[in-house]
Amino acid sequence: MAAAAAAGRVLVYGGRGALGSQCVQYFKSRNWWVASIDLAANEEASANVVVRVTESFPEQAEQVTAEVGKLLGEEKLDAILCVAGGWAGGSAKAKSLYKNCDLMWKQSVWTSTISSHLATKHLKEGGLLTLTGAQAALSGTPGMIGYGMAKGAVHQLCQSLAGASSGLPSGSAAVAILPVTLDTPANRKSMPDADFSSWTSLEFIAETFYDWITRKNRPNSGSLIQVITTGGKTELVAAHL
């Protein structure tokens, strides 16, 4: 499909994960041009940037930034959806503390930082950047130190991006979603006895992104939006720190 014929253009960071794949599928079904950034290609996407694994943040960030620049040229994006991330538990006493903190930082903070810089270069005026925080990280997370610390950093980044001198294009918005638990295959496998009616469907998140991009109920820039599901019904509730 020629890019000119697309209804819109969106970049999904983490486009091979459960939520990212749902977003790619959702926007493609609506005739959008969708690029995926991840450690492997998503064959459903219109284009892919494959991230090289490295221990150096500047090295990884520069590789992704350069490849996205080549891919887009002068074309601008309606939205950048950063849905990369992961989960690891452990207290400050855990043997895996250092390893898990490093992993959480790479999965959530590296990706969110790169997405933010890409937004300053490639987002349209009035465009949308979404980041993925966590409702649990609104308070202490003693049983998952690395996860809470990384997600707390994402919340702070989102609020910083709302400032007038953040570098984002005029009229654009940075909004973080703070889910409780997403209904993914991995979560179902690891928590088979959980109450799935309190988990949020991936399609709901994709639909919410679509609404916000098209300016339907878009929150103010810097908003931290809790995604709370009870009895199969999902509400979006702004968090106030």
Q: Catalytic residue numbers?
A: 147
End-to-end Cα spacing for the chain: 44
Q: Distance (Å, rounded) from C-alpha 7 to C-alpha 13? A: 20
Taking the CA atoms of residue 59, residue 63, residue 64 and residue 66 in that order, the dihedral angle to the nearest 10 degrees is 130
Only one residue has tokens 């702070």, namely: 156
Q: Distance (Å, rounded) from C-alpha 211 to C-alpha 217? A: 7
Q: Distance (Å, rounded) from C-alpha 240 to C-alpha 38? A: 32
| Helix (H) or strand (E) run with residue 238 in it | strand 233-238
CB atoms < 10 A from the CB of 16, how many? Answer: 21
Helical packing angle, 145-161 and 111-122, nearest 10°: 20
Q: Distance (Å, rounded) from C-alpha 122 to C-alpha 76? A: 5
Identify which of 51, 50, 3, 42 has the alpha carbon closest to the alpha carbon of residue 24.
42
DSSP letter at 106? Answer: I
| Residue 117 in tokens | 């810089």
| Helix (H) or strand (E) run with residue 71 in it | helix 57-72
